[in-house]
Structure 1
Amino acid sequence: MRIINLQQFIRLPRGVLYTKFEPDIFCQIAIKEDSIPETNDWLYQDLLEIKSNDSVELDEILSKAVENGDSFELDYKCLTRDGLFKSDQLFAVFEKEDVKSLIKRLNETLDSYPKIE
């Protein structure tokens, strides 16, 4: 894993697994998509995006999950624009070996994953 600055991050190709980094704090893990270099912005795939049509439906889904224990789907096709324009933002970027190790660990978990009721 490497810590890089915004300018280095913007130059990275799409498909990089990363998390925003504040000294000693890692944020959500996401997949970088296209950069918008003119504005130091980019698109990303949040790995915890909830599948919904709008914010009203999203609120309903989460309310039912909290109140009734309902399960819900995640959306792995939804892209989001960062849009925060924080020029001093740092990023922890997964290197290829880090991604392989993460996949290996997830596969180990999957082999004996329990049914959640």
Structure 2
Amino acid sequence: MNWYAIGNIDDIPLRGARCVKTPQGKIGVFRTGENEVFAIEDHCPHKGGPLTQGIVHGKAVTCPLHNWVISLETGNALGADEGVVRTIPVRNEDGELSIALESLMMAAE
């Protein structure tokens, strides 16, 4: 698997996010209050809202446009809403974060 360095975990506040632009689109990298890091596509499956501008709570993010809640673990919309965003493997090595480019390229095919 090819890993693409995206910065340090300290670049993302607790319960925060940052957007990483890749050739295959924008990826949201999220840090939970428990210091876990997840990466998913940065658009809500509902109307394409920027998930990195949403509120992170537990292992989920709430879209800022219409309050859809998306699981950071699975990419699935939670509750009564239906939809999914792609999850991206993320690696944390002593605070240095990387995402798996290979999965991005395979999904773009």
More helix by share: 1
Name the TM-score, length of structure 2 as normaliser: 0.30
Name the TM-score, length of structure 1 as normaliser: 0.29
Higher gyration radius (CA):
1
